[in-house]
Chains A and B, each alone.
Chain A
Amino acid sequence: MDRSVSRWAEALGGSDETQRRTAARALAIGGQDLRPAMLALTLAAGDRDDEVRNWAAEALETAGPPAAADAERFSQLLLDSLRSGEAVDGESAYWAAKLLRRLGPEAASATAALTRVLDESPFLAVREQAAAALGRIGPAAADATAALRRAAGEGVPRLARLALSALDAIRGMAA
């Protein structure tokens, strides 16, 4: 554990599978502040290797919110996930939306990206996290109102609940 979080984050992006596994595991069990590695971990959560993917998810699960300054980068990652050819894996998009959700109102700049994935992502779990993130942003996510109403009307139970809850939060009626 003598390498810094940033060095492990760099290793996560490398081509050597063993190094990526080592880095993901080190970050997951190391107990460090993972904010410098969160974007790399989010991409690693969609790695083609199961072990890298699982340890990256483990690290992110208890990592807390990312740095507010990274909201734009997670927004871009979400938008990249909508490109054809799946340049960004659905699992990475899921974690990007989830981390933005943890940021709460500080993720207001991500409203447009979250709204687009809510409307367009082929992955239900990503759309649900986007709806939840918009709810946490609150009134500043007012531009997402129409998309949230559409999601609420789709008849998918959890997505509908999260969308309705987000609409309440945007109207300032959250519990």
Chain B
Amino acid sequence: MFWKRKRRRSRTRLPWTRFIGPGATILGLLSLLGFGVGKGVDFSRLDDVPPPATGEDYPSDQPSLVGTSKLNDRIRIASFNIQKFGKSKSSDVNVMGVLATVMAQFDVVAIQEVLSADSKPVQKLVDRINAQGGRYAWTASRPIGRTSYVEQYAFVWDTTRIRLVPESAYLVSDPEDRMHREPMVATFQTIVSPISGREGFRFTLINVHTDPDEVTFDGPENELNVLDDVYRSVRQYEYSRHREEDFILLGDLNVDRDHLYELGQIHGIESVAGDQPTNTAGTKVYDHILVDRATTSEFTGEAGVLEFVRHLKLTPEQAKLVSDHQPVWAEFSSYEQPAFGSIATRPAATAEAR
């Protein structure tokens, strides 16, 4: 069995740039197939999410996946650990139908646990969304991990509403091997109408999947005591290069929000999806979207968990086949707003509509 050995040079001092390394990995593959622009999903009403159009045992009365009520003045960002998203799961038409439905509700989704060196599961998922009227694209990291078991991160986004800033996706550099899976970073910007006279919201996402054995104790090896350094390093790096101000760390952290250790102590940082369980069994909080409320005034205050049984009408057994995690989401204004301003208010549903 293949097994990679890591032998790295030791360094005694850690500069702030220690986690930065855009050259380390950028696997960008855009899928710009498809046609038709959805009008969107009403983000305040997850009960209206259309059920997945898939096999006969699954709810199937919705011909088009792409949202019917997405609003132009706000976007929804999600994080989703698609448990063991590899060849087997991506070959299951029912599960893929559910996953496509999930993705179509959001404008950008940070995905964890892709298990395929060639990213085919993500490509198939985006193809599925686009075959039903979407225009989604994706990018993925290289496979990462300390043993022969490796995972990829991915981002999937709606190209009618969001663009990936070119050359902005990378894995953070981790020469000291502080994290089992070093986070993936990418910067996006909303696409807004030129007639609005306003700039689209530009934000940097830090996609994370911690090792559950490395987050349950206090000490310097706890990955949550490393992630605060990662967050600050990425923030300083992106600000110095691009004057970027908005950073959202999201993913499967394997702890609830009372156990975020040093990550949770960053000034202004808040896990906005709250204490609602994120696992499919409905018993644990593992997944988070961390927003700096002081600087990211674009956050509207709306966030939550998309529940497979409640919102997608799946049975508990069907839900378990999709993933042991459910997507967490947060809503933001589509327009760039000054940092340190007041929290964005939810605009009227009809405002700025195209």
Tell me, yes or no, whether B163 is within 8 Å of chain A by CB: no
Render A63-96 as a binary contact track against B, CB cut-off 8 A, 1 for contact. Answer: 0000000000000000000000010011100100
Given known contacts A29-B320, A55-B84, A90-B3, is B176 in contact with A157 (CB within 8 Å)? yes
Q: In the complex, what distance in Å separates the CA atom of A64 from the CA atom of B88?
A: 26
Considering only residues 278-324 of chain B, those with a C-beta below 8 Å from chain A are: 281, 320-321, 324
A171 interfacial by beta-carbon distance below 8 Å: no
A14 within 8 A of B: no
Check A161–B84 contact: CB distance below 8 A.
no
Asked whether A125 and B281 contact (CB < 8 A) given A62-B212, A156-B10, A165-B221, the answer is no
Within 8 A of B (CB), among A84-122: 86, 89-91, 94, 98, 101-102, 122
Q: How large is the interface on A (under 10, 10 to 19, 20 to 34, 35 or more residues)?
A: 35 or more
B218 at the interface (CB under 8 A from A): yes
Nearest-neighbour CB distance to chain B for A101, whole angstroms, equals 7
Q: Which residues of B contact A86 (CB under 8 A)?
A: 1
C-alpha spacing A55/B88, complex, angstroms:
11
Chain B contact surface mostly: loop
Contact A175 B219 (CB under 8 A): yes
Min CB–CB distance A19 → chain B (angstroms)? 15
Instruction: Check A123/B115 contact, CB under 8 A, given A51-B88, A161-B220, A161-B221.
Output: no
Answer whether A101 and B10 are a contact pair too, CB < 8 Å, given A51-B86, A54-B86, A54-B115: no
A17 within 8 A of B: no
User: In this complex, what residue of B is CB-closest to A62?
Assistant: B212
A48 with B1: CB separation less than 8 A: yes
Q: Is the CB of B147 within 8 A of A91?
A: yes
Given A101-B213, A157-B10, A158-B177: A94 in contact with B147 (beta carbons within 8 A): yes
Q: How far is the CB of B81 from chain A (nearest CB, A)?
A: 11
Query: Is B1 touching A90 in the complex (CB atoms < 8 A)?
Result: yes
Check A155–B9 contact: CB distance below 8 A.
yes
Give chain B residues whose Cβ lies under 8 Å from the Cβ of A54. Answer: 84, 86, 115, 149
CB distance from A51 to the nearest CB of B (A): 6
Distance from B221 Cβ to chain A, minimum over Cβ atoms (Å): 7
Question: Is B84 touching A124 in the complex (CB atoms < 8 A)?
Answer: no
Q: Are B10 and A90 in contact (CB under 8 A)?
A: no
A102 to B146, CA, bound (A): 18
Does residue A53 face the partner (Cβ distance < 8 Å to B)? yes
Interface assignment of A46: CB less than 8 Å from any CB of chain B: yes
Shortest C-beta distance, A53 to chain B (Å), equals 7
Of B88, B147, B177, the contact of A90 (CB 8 Å cutoff): B147
B45 located at the interface, meaning its Cβ lies under 8 Å from any Cβ of chain A in the complex: no
Q: Is the CB of B213 within 8 A of A98?
A: yes
Q: What residue of chain B has the Cβ atom nearest to residue A53's Cβ?
A: B149
What are 5 A-B residue pairs whose CB atoms fall within 8 Å in the complex?
A29-B321, A54-B149, A57-B149, A86-B1, A160-B10
